[in-house]
Structure 1
């Protein structure tokens, strides 16, 4: 299925989308050219076959001829397909070379896939962020009032300018993912330990949607991509606003280190963070999935007062060789403190312990263990 601005309101397409880039248009044109060639071949082959069946049938007194190989016929039916394949290969090769030419780019964005989110980092700009499915599990479970794109919405879309060549450096943090936006004719695997390149130049502003196109785990279907293409002026305004917001967030975290949040505030925020980041594995009730994801309710580091720092470290740094990711780079100090506090006090755990931003920072700096 192809998603585009028009596809958000139109019915499902029966053909490829022409896209909004020069490369996507070339891919579409190539697809249609080869389709027409195949249709023409089919018409000729089946036309000759049906003509032979009708005009050389037994009821018309046709007698089967007896003959052996013809060198001329052998050469002819070998040469014709060869010429057709060459005619198809020339535009296909030209299109493929254009798709792989990432030179002379204006902007470079590093894309890192992980279970189950995307991380975007703009080279030469102090801007990076994670992009996750914006629809909550409760909304997904609700059978009524679903929006058309409820599984194709993210909290932070990738924003790009139109008319600029954008190079993508695509990799993965854990398993193989695939960054796919049909309107750009970009579909590139994100392999852990490797960097693949792709590029695009968007012709017109709009919202363009895609998905991870590689089966990457239990929540593979909840890993959408949203790209918003803006004019150059609007893009610069967004870039500046994002830089300002990120600097403000950093300054807020520094102030937070000297403060203590109340238990009610920590639990309220922690429940929100847990629902969007942790519930997909450990379940909304903290019971986990036996054999896959450990339970947090009534057992483990979540209830042991002596393992509080271990709990913080596990959330911040993750656990190598497991699906437990490092959330230190993904969440703010406030969110980390809140979600750990929530895990230690929800579902009847009731340790009565709160975790503050300063404690999280100490673990990040390696001063607490």
Structure 2
């Protein structure tokens, strides 16, 4: 296979495209990732030595004892000493490889005595992070502009590996990750940490990391999880403990104010123009990928909202499907992804855009009342 073809194949994934000249395992930035790399190289060199010895002996025998030189084949059938040697030697080699491998695997699975715990939940197609012992939680979505994906703009340096809200962790502290999913199987993968753990619905897997140096580290979902699998990156920012504590306090204050603002909005109503303007923004960002900007959907795959009986008549059913999603379909639940104001706006927009023109508005208080029934 030519170098050009190898390079082309490597460039098919964003991670590989970023490091297509690197043919070896990523060394990483943590003690565990370095141990994994050292183990990989040790076993690689052992395999190289075995290959040289075995093939060297084979080719030496073929050349030195070939028939054209008048060599006669041996007539013995078996040799007990040789049989014992080629059983014991591989056994000892495997034991020598198993000891450091077992030690590394045990260390990788030891999530005890963590300083910070983060619940990582995979959704189609985004990650949700919740910090234990605090009120901070948020979704992390792909931030690459749609124009780049559609080749209408030049692709950026971190194409498909950038998010709106990265995960933030402290350096010099042990961070435990509890990883799960609320729909299908995903896989949370950060090569620089030597962390790759499946996110299985209904189960929680554990892993951990401890980063020594501040920096930005990128990964992505490593399990084929549906239509937008390639648009589900992971970005982690490691900050010094002081910077991390300040960031966490700031996020707690932001979320506290957001909750206060949401309560204030429950007591007031937005007019149609405000709802339609905000609803259009939310729709284009969260709904248009499936239902299309025109509201016509994709026949046989995603239903149309334009002229939909639900959008025209069934307001409660419309609120229900946006808030709770629909089991067994690609329609995910947006109740924990959008604010009450955004939910009300996007439902209002869908009921009045593209000629639906019901004239009905949905307020944040309506959505809140439905969710608390």
TM-score (structure 2 length as normaliser): 0.92
Secondary structure of 1:118's partner? strand
> Is the Cα–Cα contact under 8 Å of residues 147 and 153 in structure 2 kept in the other structure?
no
Cα distance, 1:9 vs structure 2: 7.1
Which residue among 20, 42, 59 is the counterpart of 1:33? 42
Corresponding residue of 1:161: 170
Corresponding residue of 1:42: 51
Cα distance, 1:293 vs structure 2: 2.5
CA distance in 2, matches of 1:252, 1:61: 95
Corresponding residue of 1:54: 63
Corresponding residue of 2:370: 363
Cα distance, 1:351 vs structure 2: 2.1
1:234 aligns with 2:243: yes
CA distance in 2, matches of 1:312, 1:7: 42
Corresponding residue of 1:279: 288
1:94 aligns with 2:103: yes
CA distance in 1, matches of 2:174, 2:153: 41
Inter-CA distance 12–360: structure 2 relative to 1 (3 Å threshold): farther
Which residue among 72, 82, 86 is the counterpart of 2:81? 72
Cα distance, 1:257 vs structure 2: 1.6
Corresponding residue of 2:208: 199
Corresponding residue of 1:292: 301
1:173 aligns with 2:182: yes
CA distance in 2, matches of 1:158, 1:46: 49
CA distance in 1, matches of 2:141, 2:30: 25
Corresponding residue of 1:253: 262
Corresponding residue of 2:191: 182
Secondary structure of 1:210's partner? strand
Cα distance, 1:137 vs structure 2: 2.9
1:214 aligns with 2:257: no
CA distance in 2, matches of 1:9, 1:159: 22
Give per-residue Cα distances to partners, 1:43-93, cap 9 Å, x unaligned.
111111111122112332222222211111111111111111111100000
Secondary structure of 2:22's partner? coil
Corresponding residue of 1:332: 339
Inter-CA distance 288–20: structure 2 relative to 1 (3 Å threshold): same
CA distance in 2, matches of 1:279, 1:94: 49
Unpaired runs of 5+ residues, structure 2, are 1-9
Aligned residue pairs: how many?
Answer: 361
TM-score (structure 1 length as normaliser): 0.93
CA distance in 2, matches of 1:238, 1:7: 32
> Is the Cα–Cα contact under 8 Å of residues 141 and 164 in structure 2 kept in the other structure?
yes
CA distance in 2, matches of 1:50, 1:229: 53
CA distance in 2, matches of 1:139, 1:93: 44
> Is the Cα–Cα contact under 8 Å of residues 133 and 152 in structure 1 kept in the other structure?
yes
- The runs of at least 4 aligned residues of structure 1 exceeding 4 Å deviation read 6-11
My pick for the range that moved more, 26-35 or 351-360, is 351-360
Cα distance, 1:11 vs structure 2: 5.0
Unpaired runs of 5+ residues, structure 1, are none
Instruction: Report the RMSD for the aligned CA atoms in angstroms.
Output: 1.9
1:312 aligns with 2:312: no
1:224 aligns with 2:233: yes
Cα distance, 1:265 vs structure 2: 2.5
Corresponding residue of 2:6: none
CA distance in 1, matches of 2:286, 2:104: 40
Give per-residue Cα distances to partners, 1:165-191, cap 9 Å, x unaligned.
011111111111111111111111111
Corresponding residue of 1:351: 358
